[in-house]
Amino acid sequence: MRIVITDKVLREGRQLAASIERLLPDADVLLYDDSHEALVGIAEHRPDVVFVAPTVGALAGPEFVSQVVDVHGLDATVVGVVDEPDADWSQRYVAAGAHVVVQRPVDELGLRVAMRQRAGGIPG
């Protein structure tokens, strides 16, 4: 399974990547903090799942989600990430095209929900 994490705060992105790698040791996890580089990487690597933080480079998360879902031929589960429960942010993410929204730090249940039915899902 190939997973892209986009987050302006690399420390947060690395924490999420570590959680994913504990759950799926064979996952190919790519981390981007710049929105343009992330879009190029997403178009090139065709991930199964894309996690989008509240801020990616200079863009708000929902704005970046709308760009991700416009990547031609991409068939990925797009996951919005919020810092705290916020109905407005969740609605913005979903309206932009996110399939699911999870709260940071993303726990095992959030990861399982986000990656369900993608590339065979998660064992166990």
Q: Which residues pair with 81 in a beta bridge?
A: 102
Percent of the chain with pLDDT over 90: 85
* CATH number, residue 43: 3.40.50.2300
Convert 31-58 to b/e letters by CB count within 10 Å (16 or more is b).
Answer: bbbebeebbebbeeeebbbbbbbbbbbe
Rounded Cα distance, 56 and 60, in Å: 6
Q: Is residue 120 part of a domain?
A: no
- Please state the domain count of the chain: 1
Confidence band (pLDDT; 50, 70, 90) for 102? very high
Confidence band (pLDDT; 50, 70, 90) for 5? very high
Range of the domain at 84: 2-115
Count the Cβ atoms, other than its own, within 10 Å of residue 118. Answer: 18
**Average pLDDT for the chain:** 92
42-74 pLDDT, tens digit per residue, is 999 999 999 999 999 999 999 999 999 999 999
Q: Is residue 37 part of a domain?
A: yes
What pLDDT, on the 0 to 100 scale, is given for residue 119?
A: 52
φ/ψ of 13, rounded to 5, equals -65, -40
pLDDT at 111 over 60: yes
Q: Is residue 121 part of a domain?
A: no
Angle between helix 87-96 and helix 61-68 axes, rounded to 10 deg: 20
83-95 pLDDT, tens digit per residue, is 999 999 999 999 9
Which positions ≥6 away from 45 have C-beta within 8 Å?
2, 4, 30
